[in-house]
Amino acid sequence: MSVTTSSRWSDLGLRLASAAVIVPVAGVCIWLGGPVYDVLILLAMFGLAWEGETLAGQNLRTWRGALLLLWPVISGIAALKGEWTAALGMAVMAIVFGARFCVPVAVAIVGGLSLLWLRHLPSGAASVMFVIAVVVASDSMAYVAGRIFGGPKLAPSISPGKTRSGALGGLVGASVAGGLVAFFSGYGAVGSAFVWGAVLGVCSQSGDLLESAVKRRLGVKDSGRLIPGHGGLLDRFDGLLAAAPVAALISLAVLGQPFWSATPDALVAGAVAQGFSHGSIPHG
C-alpha cells in the first residue's frame, strides 16, 4: 500500500471517528432543544468567530479580539431573551474594526441566530433536521455524482474538484432529503418540501464555494483543526451557515407552520407582515 493510499485511509478513519462523536451529540441536542441546544449553538458561534478572526489575522489577545469573539455569544443570549437588536451591533463593529474583521463575526451571528430561531419554532426539531439533512445530502450526493459522472468543472478557479454533474447530483439529493424529512416528520407539505430542499441545496453549495474561495485567497487548506479529519468548523458547516439563514427567512412568512410549507404568495404577504417584529425567539 502506497503512502498516499495509507494517508487517505487514515484520514477516512479520522472522519468516521469524528462523525461517530458529533452526530449523536448533535442529534440529542437537537431533539432535546431548550438550554441544551441553545448552549451548543452559542459554543458553535464562539468557535466560528474564533476561526474566522484567526483566518482574518486578528490578534485575539487584545481587547478588540476578545470583543469580536464574545459578541456573537452576547448577541445569541440577547436574542434568546428577546433583544434581537443586539445583532445590530455588527454595523457598529464594521465601522470600528473594518469589514475584514467584521465579516467572520457576522457569519457566526447570522448563522447562529438562524439556527436558534428555527429550533424555537413549533416545528423546531423537524425544521433544524430538514436543513441539516438537505445540506448533508447535497454534499454527499455532489461527491458521489461527481465521482461517477465527472465532466466539466463547476468552478475550476475556486474549487477544481467540483463538477457540474456533482452540483446537479447534489441538488437532486437535497430535494429528496427535504421531501423525506417532511414526510417522516408528519408535518406534510411534501410537495413544496422537495422544492425548498433544492433551493436550500443551492444555498449550501454556494456557501461551500464561497468558503473555498476565501481559503484559496488566504492560501490555506483548512479553516482550523478542531474536527479531526474534517478541518475546522467553517470547513464542516459552511453549507449549513448559508442554508440556515434562508430557511429562517422563509419561516417568517408561515410562523406556526413548518417553513417548507411556504408558497410564493405566503412569502410576499407573510414576510412583510411578520418580519422580526415579534422581537424575540419564537416559542412553540
Instruction: List the domain boundaries for the chain.
Output: 33-119, 123-284
pLDDT (0 to 100) of residue 4: 47
- Residue 47 clears pLDDT 80, i.e. is over it: yes
pLDDT (0 to 100) of residue 236: 85
Q: What is the pLDDT of residue 157?
A: 83
Q: Which residue has the higher pLDDT, 145 or 223?
A: 145
Q: How confident is the model at residue 9 (pLDDT cuts 50, 70, 90)?
A: very low
Mean pLDDT of the region 169-198: 95
Mean pLDDT (the chain, rounded): 84
Look up residue 250 and give its three cell numbers.
422563509
Which pLDDT belongs to residue 283? 58
Mean pLDDT computed over 222-248: 83
Q: What pLDDT sits at residue 1?
A: 43
pLDDT in tens, 112-171: 999 999 999 999 999 999 999 999 999 999 989 988 998 889 888 888 888 999 999 999
Predicted pLDDT at 167: 94
Range scoring the smallest mean pLDDT among 41-45, 256-260, 262-266: 262-266
Per residue in 255-271, is it b (16+ CB within 10 Å) or e — as a string?
Answer: eebbbbbbeeeeeeebb
Q: Taking the complete model, does pTM exceed 0.75, yes or no? A: yes
pLDDT digits over 18-37, tens only? 777 888 899 999 999 999 99
